[in-house]
Amino acid sequence: MHSKELSSALERAGRVVVKIGTSNLTGDNMLSERKVAGIVERVIRLKSGGREVIIVSSGAIAAGMSALKLKERPRDVKLLQATAAVGQNELMRVYGKLFSSRRQAIAQILLTYEDFENRKRYLNLRNTVNTLLKMGVIPIINENDTIAVDEIKFGDNDNLSALVAVNLNADLLILVSSAGLHAGDPKKDKNAPLIPLVTELTKDIEECAGKSTALGSGGMKTKLEAARKATEAGITLIITSLGKDALVSEDSTVFKAGAKLSDREHWIRHTSKPAGRLVVDDGARNALAETGCSLLPSGVLKVEGAFKAGDTVSITDKNRVEIGRGLSNYSSAEAEKLKGKKTSEMVKTTGHAGPREIVSRRNMVLNTR
């Protein structure tokens, strides 16, 4: 069954995003040209099957350490950023040399979270990469570590690769790490069984992820976050170790694509960051969960954070358990005045006519879906 699901996922995919973890590019915390060459050969083999391939590559800081002859990873943020700046150039030099030997053109794209959060930049990214793919070029994407402090701190290319896959309407996302998902840490327990197929991200799966801790700097937690983003966009995801001659080995876990959220819904849930929080009463919580209605001001108990009309807000119950997310029709200052009010009182409260809802249902995504 596992081999069948794995083969099927690979065979059906026309556009593939491949995330390469640092451990598959380095040795002794230094960039390994031999390992990069192995990745290049496998990517060329994947592309030769008629697929479009996008790479999300880690390794910039390790490459910078190699170039600067640093024995330890810098702890100071400024030095870490400087090392990444040197490393990006070195990483692309090695990629360029090896892909050029196979007569394959590549392009470098450096991104931050803002490139996904800003809708215009989000679409510009899609247009640029689509153009590169039509030209037969392989884009190589990485976080812009030189300016994105949080990205350096968390070292999370798993979620980046998921956002890239969603942005580009990919068919398949492959996270190349050290192993698939096991019901335990395979480095500590050789008998920890592989979980070959995940059809739903349940609490049991999340618990297994907590036990399987040997999967790169992002950890299994970020890989499951990536899996949720991908599968909710209708994209199959594979967590795998490198195969002998291919990117994917039998030590893989396939996460089957689920029901697809619309592009707008997915952007609200996974890409836009909440600028504030609306705490609602039990009646509003039940109405949202059971009937999927809009959020009216009468159901709002508290307004937290500073946000503008059109910003994403988190909607939670009194215990701060998130019910969903949506785009607020009002600023935090206006929402503060409107909370608990009846719709008939809204114009008098704000001094102008506006939407009857604090968050309209069409601009809301519930976690119950």
Q: Give 157's contacts (C-beta < 8 A, 6+ positions apart).
A: 19, 21, 56, 57, 58, 142, 143, 218
Note whether 259 and 318 are same-domain residues.
Answer: no
pLDDT at 27: 86
Note whether 90 and 215 are same-domain residues.
Answer: yes
- CATH assignment of the domain containing 317: 2.30.130.10
pLDDT at 148: 64
Note whether 30 and 68 are same-domain residues.
Answer: yes
Strand partners for 176: 20, 240
From 213, 238, 265, the end of a domain falls on 265
Note whether 90 and 178 are same-domain residues.
Answer: yes
Note whether 246 and 289 are same-domain residues.
Answer: no
- CATH assignment of the domain containing 189: 3.40.1160.10
Residue 218, token pair as written in the block? 């992002």
The residue segments making up the domain with residue 163 are 2-265
Q: Percent of the chain at pLDDT above 70? A: 94
Q: Which of 150, 205, 144, 147 is nearest to 180 (CA)?
A: 205
Residue 313, token pair as written in the block? 């807000």
pLDDT digits (tens, 9 = 90+) for 155-198: 478 999 999 999 999 999 999 988 889 887 777 787 888 999 99
Structurally, how many domains does the chain consist of?
A: 2
The residue ranges of DSSP E strands in the chain, in sequence order, are: 15-20, 26-27, 30-31, 52-57, 106-111, 138-143, 172-177, 197-198, 236-241, 252-255, 276-280, 300-305, 312-316, 322-328, 359-366
Work out the angle between the directed axes of helices 157-167 and 119-134 (0-180°, nearest 10). 80
Contact yes or no for 194/208 (Cβ under 8 A): no
Note whether 229 and 321 are same-domain residues.
Answer: no
User: Per mean pLDDT, which range of 12-26, 94-108, 110-124, 313-327 is the poorest?
Assistant: 110-124
Read out DSSP for 313-356?
EEEE-TT--EEEEEEESS-HHHHHHHTT--GGGHHHHHSS---S
From 223, 244, 265, the end of a domain falls on 265
Q: Give the whole-angstrom CA distance, residue 19 versus residue 91.
A: 15
Q: Percent of the chain at pLDDT above 90? A: 61
pLDDT digits (tens, 9 = 90+) for 7-35: 888 999 999 999 998 889 998 878 999 99
Which burial class, exposed, middle or buried, applies to 69 when counting CB atoms under 10 A from its CB (0-12, 13-18, 19+)? exposed
Question: 53-64: buried (b, 16+ CB within 10 Å) or exposed (e) per residue?
Answer: bbbbbbbbbbbb
